[in-house]
Amino acid sequence: MRNIKVAATQMACTWDTASNIQRAEEQVRKAHQQGAQIILLQELFETPYFCQEVDPKHFKLAKPVAGNGFIEHFQGLARELEVVLPISFFEIDGNNYFNSIVVLDADGAIVSHYRKVHIPDAVGYYEKYYFSPGDTGFQVAKTRYADIGVAICWDQWFPESARSMVLKGAEMLFYPTAIGSEPSDASLDSREHWQQVMQGHAAANMVPVIASNRIGEETTSDSSMTFYGSSFIADYTGKKIEEADQKSEAVICASFDLDEAQEYRRTWGIFRDRRPSQYASINRLSAVGT
């Protein structure tokens, strides 16, 4: 048996970045007190979701990995509590900007650095204005407690992302998120679809999935979004086993026997029966004529 306890969190964010960091730390400490060893915080939690608007001033928020005080703060926390922390941040590297995440191991060391591959562009989600598509490829972080795959928000809608990470050895998948109401269509509620697509990744790959979203209303001069929380944890059959509500700060936890999950994958033969030679069309943007 190899039992691992994980946590998903959710909180509201303001332009008081010190307060955001403090509340995130409090959530990590609460999760640790409940025995969690790998703790997921939401996407870009240092600030409000600035991609809701197009404004060049927000480029000033970006920081490199080296000498990044925000990351260093959570390295110290990971080291103190001996927990694994995926930390989402706005990265600058030369003339390029990325929506990035580093995975901090239980000793505070950075064990992976991933840049978001799929960049959305919709009303209220103007990420293509700020971020270049990631160039790191999907990664698996070998941490003290488990080998984990971490992708970011819009990545979670693509089955190719999940399968790529599991093929590389991910035993669990983590998705930090910022999603809520659609400024272009107030009648659209994607919450259940958002959860179901990730439950499908858990079921198809037979690994647990952990997702953290933000909560609260965030308003700009000409737009407003209400993030719907609903952070959740699914087991390796895709069943939701823990879920937060849509409005409250929360820490939810679940335990998994990763040896049991591995045995389940083996006995089903999902990876044994894959036929990569038949999937050539997936390597093209369009399969027309193939």
Which of these, 208, 87, 78, lies nearest to 144 by C-alpha position?
78
264-289 in b/e burial notation, b at 16+ Cβ within 10 A? bbeeeeeeeeeeeeeeeeeeeeeeee
Beta strands in 67-161 (DSSP E): 85-93, 96-104, 110-115, 140-142, 147-150
Helix (H) or strand (E) holding 267: helix 258-268
93-114 in b/e burial notation, b at 16+ Cβ within 10 A? eeeebbbbbbbbbbebeebbeb
Contact indicator for 249, 10 with CB cutoff of 8 Å: yes
Tell me the CA distances in angstroms from 223 to 58, 125, 185, 194, one per residue in order.
16, 11, 12, 22
Q: How far apart are CA 135 and CA 221, in angstroms?
A: 33
Q: How far apart are CA 243 and CA 254, in angstroms?
A: 10
β-partners of residue 182 are 185
Tell which phi-psi region holds residue 67, choosing left (phi > 0), alpha (psi between -120 and 50) or beta: left
SS3 annotation, 131-154 = CCCCCCCCCEEECCCCEEEECCHH
**Residue in the block written with tokens 């027309």:** 288
Tell me the catalytic residues. 43, 116, 153
Contact indicator for 7, 251 with CB cutoff of 8 Å: yes
